[in-house]
Amino acid sequence: MLDICTAHLDALVSMDTRNPPRAIQPDHDVIRYTTDTLKSTGFDVSLDNLGDGSICIDAVRGESDVLVNCHLDTVPDASGWNASPFTLSKHGDALIGLGACDVKGSAACILTAASMTDTPARILLTTDEEAGKSRCVRHWVREHAGEVSCVIVCEPTGLKGVTAHRGLLSAQATFQGRSAHSSDAAAASSSATHALVHWAHGVLSCASICENNRFNIGRIEGGTKPNMIAADASVRFGMRPAPDADPDELLERIKSHASRSCEVEWSINFSAPALRAHPQAPEWLERFTIEPAPPVDFWTEAALFAELGVPTIVFGAGDISQAHAPNERIAIAQLEQGIHAYANIFSSDHE
């Protein structure tokens, strides 16, 4: 079965599913390959094309109340690759290729496990997780509430079950000032860039915001020339609130560090809740013989599935340290173990 899994991974890695540019369409190779493979193992497959590169592949075999979800898109290849990121290669005890760890390795395990079993199963493959809007998952949750009792979301967890993780927020603030000549001492108080820097200093000095909730300033823009007071300046920032934190309260605290003498326009680019452990999650972990893991700092779409009110588990092959990295790799042993782990999930659902 490892040879079959490796062949699946080889095929998936060769297909360019980088996101952006949100260019995946229903006739894309990855759509044809996965749907044909699932149909050959007894699944009825339906597609929902939401546009803008967002496609849901909903595969159903019999009646199952457990959903296994995996995204097929990858981030753009980072600089530093030693070979083509679209050619799967072996290095020691690992396989290298773009998406091999995040998360085409798990997708290959799922396709292989599907062919090993004939029990009812439900699989949702999506194409826009890395695009930053999660349209596919949000759409599926709206359309299929009440159809599942447990969700497994594939992300690299070393084949351990994660039931809680941080939330995610990405926002922008635009500071408005008044342009003037920099020789005017009084005019400096009207500088948008000065106001932004003072705000940033205040937030970064607040340990309860930064350290506990992973606050990060990603990009600052503003001003025109050194001898001109800046009329406007903007900052893009993000944070990953702890599972027990209130994101709205945190955002208000972040805003409070801006001077009241300066007009600021705030906008939210992306906001997603944390994943909080469901009280029944341990029972499902035991049922699937999955080893539990502590909460993680990265965000996953499991938090969106959890809004269904069902136990949601993040579980997949690979190490998160390899996600988005050059020469991305996955241990062959993880693939071998992953095949049997997903086959066990499909089979355990009906024992």
Q: What is the set of active-site residues?
A: 129
CB–CB of 317/156 below 8 Å? yes
Backbone CA torsion sign across 4, 103, 159, 310: negative
Burial class (CB in 10 A: 0-12, 13-18, 19+), 247: buried
Q: Reading across the β-sheet that carries 168-176, which strands appear in turn?
A: 216-222, 232-239, 168-176, 263-272
Bridge partner residues of 68 (DSSP): 123, 152
Helix residue ranges per DSSP H, the chain: 2-14, 29-40, 105-116, 135-143, 192-204, 207-213, 247-256, 281-287, 302-305, 332-348
* Rg of the chain (C-alpha set): 23
Rounded distance between C-alpha atoms, residue 153 and residue 130, angstroms: 14
Backbone CA torsion sign across 185, 190, 193, 195: positive
Residue 192 tokens read as: 């948008």
User: Beta strands 94-96 and 329-331: pairing type?
Assistant: antiparallel
Angle at 118 between CA 115 and CA 120, to 5 degrees: 115
Rounded distance between C-alpha atoms, residue 170 and residue 164, angstroms: 20
Residue 167 tokens read as: 């939330």
Cα–Cα separations (whole angstroms), residue 261 to 40, 174, 178, 184, 267: 65, 14, 12, 18, 19
DSSP code, position 146: T
User: Beta strands 312-314 and 150-153: pairing type?
Assistant: parallel
